[in-house]
Amino acid sequence: GAVVSQHPSRVICKSGTSVKIECRSLDFQATTMFWYRQFPKQSLMLMATSNEGSKATYEQGVEKDKFLINHASLTLSTLTVTSAHPEDSSFYICSARSGGSAKNIQYFGAGTRLSVL
Amino acid sequence: EDQVTQSPEALRLQEGESSSLNCSYTVSGLRGLFWYRQDPGKGPEFLFTLYSAGEEKEKERLKATLTKKESFLHITAPKPEDSATYLCAVTGANSKLTFGKGITLSVRP
């Protein structure tokens, strides 16, 4: 299967700082990338969808000014959590999909565990 | 709104004891049903995708089947390394993946 690299795997930061998470598709071009959040023993919740070269589409209830998404190339998307607070602590996971069809498979990164002190 | 329900929530099996995991779904215009495996602290790993009722896919000890209302993941003679959370997800007309809560499988040696 296709490989998606997510970086860093774990980050601990102080309240008020910003954190950037990178997501790269290593062996295919991802026209669409997705960012999810997962709480313990819960399902993955979609935060936003990003297409290369255009603005991200955020799900209802997700603050776009807090969670900045940039999809600068066909292999790289970044999520920046701005002015992080303890309630932002969570497991963030990205995925990448090649092609524009919803039938195409989403391949996931290994996730980033964010802890805000 | 698309919905996915997985049962049971947790399943404990003895090594070699075959079983099935259930995924019930409602979706507007099914475009695909996906099974993923997730290990603790990791992202989901793709297993199968099914597109139409009657379709079946197989990989090692796993076999996925699909009807118009549900999908089953059959595990034949499981081994301890099959222990993980198995996630079911659907994509419908909105092109988004909707996940179930997952089934945590524990296989005892």
What's the CA gap between A2 and B97, in Å, rounded?
Answer: 18
Distance, in angstroms, between A49 CA and closest chain B CA?
Answer: 9
Distance, in angstroms, between A87 CA and closest chain B CA?
Answer: 19
Interchain contact, A6 vs B43, CB within 8 Å: yes
pLDDT at A114: 97
Contact list in A for residue B31 (CB cut-off 8 A) is: 101-103
**C-alpha distance from residue A107 to each of A26, A113, B7, B21, B92 (Å):** 11, 18, 24, 22, 18
Long-range contacts, B28-31 (Cβ 8 Å, 24+): B28/B2, B28/B92, B28/B93, B28/B94, B29/B92, B29/B93, B30/B90, B30/B91, B30/B92, B31/A101, B31/A102, B31/A103, B31/B91, B31/B92, B31/B93, B31/B95
A10: tokens are 């774990």
Nearest CA among A66, A64, A46, A45 for reference residue A55: A64
Contact list in A for residue B45 (CB cut-off 8 A) is: 1, 108
In the numeric block, the tokens 């996906």 are attached to B34
Contact list in B for residue A101 (CB cut-off 8 A) is: 31
What's the CA gap between B72 and B45, in Å, rounded?
Answer: 17
Burial (Cβ within 10 Å: 0-12, 13-18, ≥19) of residue B81:
exposed
- In a mutational test of the B interface, the residue from A43, A92, A98 whose CB has the highest number of chain B CBs within 10 Å is A43
Interchain contact, B45 vs A108, CB within 8 Å: yes
A43 — contact with chain B (CB < 8 Å)? yes
Tens of pLDDT, residues A23-80: 999 988 888 999 999 998 888 999 999 988 888 999 999 999 999 999 888 899 999 9
Contact list in A for residue B95 (CB cut-off 8 A) is: 102
Tens of pLDDT, residues A98-109: 766 656 899 999
A62 — contact with chain B (CB < 8 Å)? no
pLDDT at B95: 84
Which of A102, A108, A113 comes nearest B44 by C-beta?
Answer: A108
Instruction: Band the pLDDT of B18: cuts 50, 70, 90.
Output: very high
Burial (Cβ within 10 Å: 0-12, 13-18, ≥19) of residue B71:
buried
